[in-house]
Structure 1
């Protein structure tokens, strides 16, 4: 997955620099090292000398197919589809959701589907609270469980403090008053 992260980072830089296809390929290929550089050298040797310049899309597609096996992509897609909040804080769950959703873009292409997947992964109590509402967009949906989850944690902390006070104090009356003889 490092190769995927690298490609995304390079593409972001290239978009900022507003490079054309040839510049993108030249820049990205100059950033390769080790096995990735060996792949690039081999890829170039396989291209005929009179072939047109390699496009950025060709570079990305070939880089991906070599460095990111389909089996790994399937595993990441399955990890996304089965993602559950579990003991994660809401912000952690949201970050993990965002990280994994890029491996299954078709399942979250529409806002409605993205909301459905996000809701499906929340713990049952929170899911139940949120299902009765409709949200105009994904971000509106995300904002609600963050606030609700924070309030739940606050209430649990208060409950623990109150229980701790009840156990720590000896305020129960004695059944039989002691008398001195």
Structure 2
């Protein structure tokens, strides 16, 4: 959607509820709504809900983010939430892709790189496929082991 700054601000305000709505009732008296830009609005909002120390902590967490024992879906969720606090990455498609793939587990990272994914969403899709393939292999192996176990006990 092509929205003006004023439209962005109005849409965000419309979504406020509970504490955020109450906070905004007081905060709007301190800003000039006729000249408030989207970036200006974000500064006011982040000033209230994301202090500098919180933004610094969230940036650090994002920069150190690794998949570890998370599923790809969990990793993608944390990645997409965190990238907004590191504009040098979220504003650059190549850096975003690089950071995403570097945080993946080695096996999945290798599969994504072998696929030649050039964009973040393609890398996410490839990572999901790689994880699914790995899970399918594990299930198949477990099913075979279980069938061997049953056959061995029947023969005894």
TM-score band, normalised by shorter chain = 0.7 to 0.9
Among residues 114, 124, 130, which one is paired with 2:106 in the alignment? 124
CA distance in 2, matches of 1:23, 1:103: 19
State the partner residue of 2:36. Answer: 55
Q: Is the 8 A contact 2:101 2:109 kept in 1?
A: yes
In the TM superposition, residue 72 of structure 1 has moved relative to its aligned partner by 0.5
State the partner residue of 1:104. Answer: 86
1:143 matched to 2:128? The reply is no
CA distance in 2, matches of 1:130, 1:62: 39
**Deviation digits for residues 2-23 of structure 1 (CA, Å, limit 9, x no counterpart):** xxxxxxxxxxxxx78x577399
Partner SS state of residue 101, structure 2: helix
Q: Is the 8 A contact 2:115 2:126 kept in 1?
A: no
**Deviation digits for residues 44-67 of structure 1 (CA, Å, limit 9, x no counterpart):** 3x67xxx89552444432232233
Among residues 69, 76, 79, which one is paired with 1:94 in the alignment? 76
In the TM superposition, residue 131 of structure 1 has moved relative to its aligned partner by 2.9
1:78 matched to 2:63? The reply is no
Q: TM-score, length-normalised on structure 1?
A: 0.66
Q: TM-score, length-normalised on structure 2?
A: 0.74
Q: Is the 8 A contact 1:111 1:137 kept in 2?
A: yes
State the partner residue of 2:96. Answer: 114
State the partner residue of 2:145. Answer: 163
From the CA coordinates, give the structure whose radius of gyration is larger.
1
Unpaired stretches in structure 2, ≥5 consecutive residues: none
CA distance in 2, matches of 1:125, 1:20: 43
CA distance in 2, matches of 1:40, 1:115: 40
Q: Is the 8 A contact 2:93 2:120 kept in 1?
A: yes
Partner SS state of residue 170, structure 1: helix
RMSD, aligned CA? 3.5
Of the structure 1 ranges 72-81 and 87-96, higher mean CA displacement relative to structure 2 is found in 87-96
